[in-house]
Amino acid sequence: MPNIKAAVKRTKTIEKRRQQRIAQKSAMRTSVKKFLTAVDRQEQEQAAALLREAKRDLDKAATKGLIHKNAAARQKSRLEKKYQALNG
C-alpha cells in the first residue's frame, strides 16, 4: 500500500478505471453472444436488431481502446457473415 497521498489517489483511480473497462468489455461480449444465440435459434428479426447493437458495442470498445480497431472490424465482419448466412 502506498504511503504518499498522490500514490494512494492514483491507485484508487486505476482501480476505478479497471472496473469500468471490465464492465464495458463484458457488455460488449454479452451483446455479441446474444446475437449469436439469436442466429442459432434462426430468429431473423431479433438477430437484425442484436447485430446492430453488437456492432455498436464493438465500435465503442475500439474507440475507447478496449480492443484494437482491426479486431473490432474482424469481429463485425464475422458477425455480418453469420447474419447473411441466416438470411440465405
Where on the phi/psi map is residue 34: left (φ > 0), alpha (ψ -120 to 50), or beta? alpha
Mean pLDDT score, 57-84: 97
Mean pLDDT score, 4-19: 96
Task: Report how far Cα 68 is from the mean position of its chain's Cα atoms.
Answer: 11
Q: Output the pLDDT for position 29.
A: 97
Instruction: Tell me how crowded residue 11 is: count the other CB atoms within 10 A of its CB.
Output: 12
Could you tell me which CATH number the domain at 5-87 has? 1.20.58.110
For the chain, the structural domain boundaries read 5-87
Mean pLDDT score, 59-84: 97
Where on the phi/psi map is residue 65: left (φ > 0), alpha (ψ -120 to 50), or beta? left
Grid coordinates given for 83: 447474419
Give the tens place of pLDDT for each residue, 17-32.
999 999 999 999 999 9
Give the tens place of pLDDT for each residue, 29-61.
999 999 999 999 999 999 999 999 999 999 999
- pTM of the predicted model, to two decimals? 0.86
Nearest residue to 44 (alpha-carbon basis) of 7, 10, 83, 12:
83
